[in-house]
Amino acid sequence: MRVLVIGAGPAGTRCAERVAQRLPGAAVTLLGAEAALPYDRVALGRLLSGEVEAAALITHDAARLRALGIRFRPAAPVVALDRATRAAVTAAGERHAYDRLVLATGSRAVRLPLPGAERAGVFVYRSMGDVLAIRRAAIGARRAIVVGGGLLGLEAAAGLAAIGLAVTVVHAVGWPMERQLDEGAGAMLARALGARRIRFAMPAAAAALEGPPGGLAALRLADGTRLAADLVVMAVGVRAETALAAEAGLAPGRGIPVDDAMRSADPSILAIGECAEHRGTVCGLVAPALAMAEAAAAAVAGAAATYAPRPDPAALKVSGTAVWSAGEVAPPDAEAITLRDEAGGRYRRLWLRDGRLVGAVLFGDTADAPFYLELIGSGRAVAPFRRDLAFGPAYIPAAARDAA
């Protein structure tokens, strides 16, 4: 059996590895658009901050791929699929025939179409190539602007601050990470990051990038304010990379629609990771992408395969700032319990509906995160220990917890 995996991100690489293990006789080929060997995208922040060099992020070197029996082609973007003859064609014209095809093309970072966005010094933050280019531009630079104060934007800001740049985050909403944090936790986070030379312009809208011909000197806000900048990183979201599937007639919605076994509308083609749309949802985290890879590998091997989505917690990976959230954040129809210790830098907010925990935000101390995640996931009634819920499991008698 010839199994072709397109996209060597975490999902594609995991799937190729599992297929090779499950089907030792199969010819497994992994095609990646990037020049690098498969690497840990989640750890790119450590490369940006200079904590590690690129080689430390490689998860599958040539020897490991060989030992697994995976034929890997870097710098081999696939430009066309021929479903009739079951083959994929790379930009260099290499043709790869398949019996089963796994699309794992992930997402691409959105580049705001602002006037001047094509100037040198304007970057996105998605790939190892992006990070290496940002690091080169940071040599001799003093001021950086990050557009977007979500999880990735803040991680980029912290990395740039760690290598000595003065960083301003331009964010459209009044507090950072508004999709994961309520206003109280967001304000505390902004203050904590302020102590590390990260400033915020918010709510504010980036309007244009300005400078000498081709170069960059400033970012102009919609209200006319000019912020001086030697480099700008746009971290304003991602879009599922579905161009290939769309051209092959696989009718993508936000992603490539798949069933619980990751099968697309074409029975010989599966889709996994951030390019897949499962039950109307496109994932944006690595854990579900890897779980989909496992399910797809099982399906390719003819085993029972089901991907079951779980609540995805989000955590900010900036050392010294413990921030965690899961479930619904500030839903309008829920009751909230808040614990706030402003001076101690500790904040908790929990949302309850019908006596069950539906969302939680923790700032400053995230040690109890697994307890709240379990309650959100299980949907257990919290009435027996509601009074002590915000203090965490250490304050709840075991008998009350078990009674739930």
Ligand X SMILES: Cc1cc2nc3c(=O)[nH]c(=O)nc-3n(C[C@H](O)[C@H](O)[C@H](O)COP(=O)(O)OP(=O)(O)OC[C@H]3O[C@@H](n4cnc5c(N)ncnc54)[C@H](O)[C@@H]3O)c2cc1C
Contact 49, 215 (CB under 8 A): no
Interface with ligand X includes 149 (CB under 6 A)?
A: no
Minimal distance, residue 366 CB to ligand X, in Å: 14
| Tokens read off for 364 | 């400053």
CA dist 158 to 77, 147, 204, Å? 32, 13, 20
The smaller minimum CB distance to ligand X, of residues 216 and 283, is found at 283
Interface with ligand X includes 245 (CB under 6 A)?
A: no
Interface with ligand X includes 287 (CB under 6 A)?
A: yes
Minimal distance, residue 331 CB to ligand X, in Å: 22
The smaller minimum CB distance to ligand X, of residues 190 and 248, is found at 248
**What's the CA gap between 179 and 146, in Å, rounded?**
18
Q: How far apart are the first and last CA of the chain?
A: 50
Question: Applying CB under 6 A, what is the total number of residues that bind ligand X?
Answer: 35
| Tokens read off for 172 | 């459209």
In the set 244, 270, 357, 369, which binds ligand X (CB under 6 A)? Answer: 244
Q: Which of residues 70-89 bind ligand X (CB under 6 A)?
A: 77-78
**Could you tell me which stretch among 38-46, 199-207, 263-271, 322-330 binds ligand X (CB under 6 A)?**
38-46
120 CB burial (10 A radius; 0-12, 13-18, 19+): exposed
| Contacting residues for 302 by C-beta, under 8 A, at least 6 apart | none
Q: Pick from 166, 173, 176, 170: which is nearest to 209 by CA?
A: 170
The smaller minimum CB distance to ligand X, of residues 125 and 385, is found at 125
The smaller minimum CB distance to ligand X, of residues 91 and 222, is found at 91
Interface with ligand X includes 377 (CB under 6 A)?
A: no
Fill in the per-residue mask, 185 to 224: x = in contact with ligand X (CB under 6 A), - = not in contact: ----------------------------------------
Looking at the DSSP assignment, which residues form a beta bridge with residue 234? 124, 147
In the set 9, 149, 327, 359, which binds ligand X (CB under 6 A)? Answer: 9
The smaller minimum CB distance to ligand X, of residues 108 and 386, is found at 108
Interface with ligand X includes 44 (CB under 6 A)?
A: yes
Residue type present at position 40: D
Count of CB atoms situated within 10 Å of the CB of 226: 12
In the set 317, 340, 356, 380, which binds ligand X (CB under 6 A)? Answer: 317
> What would you report as the CA-atom Rg of the chain, rounded to the nearest whole angstrom?
23
In the set 106, 148, 252, 359, which binds ligand X (CB under 6 A)? Answer: 106
Q: Which of residues 109-148 bind ligand X (CB under 6 A)?
A: 125-126
Interface with ligand X includes 160 (CB under 6 A)?
A: no
403 CB burial (10 A radius; 0-12, 13-18, 19+): exposed
CA torsion, ordered 365, 369, 371, 375, to nearest 10 deg: 130
In the set 12, 153, 184, 364, which binds ligand X (CB under 6 A)? Answer: 12
In the set 182, 230, 274, 368, which binds ligand X (CB under 6 A)? Answer: 274
| Tokens read off for 337 | 């319990």
The alpha carbon of 33 is separated from its chain's Cα centroid by a whole number of angstroms, namely 18
Site residues (vs ligand X, CB under 6 A): 6-12, 31-34, 41-42, 44-45, 77-78, 104-107, 125-126, 152, 155, 241, 244, 273-274, 284-287, 289, 317
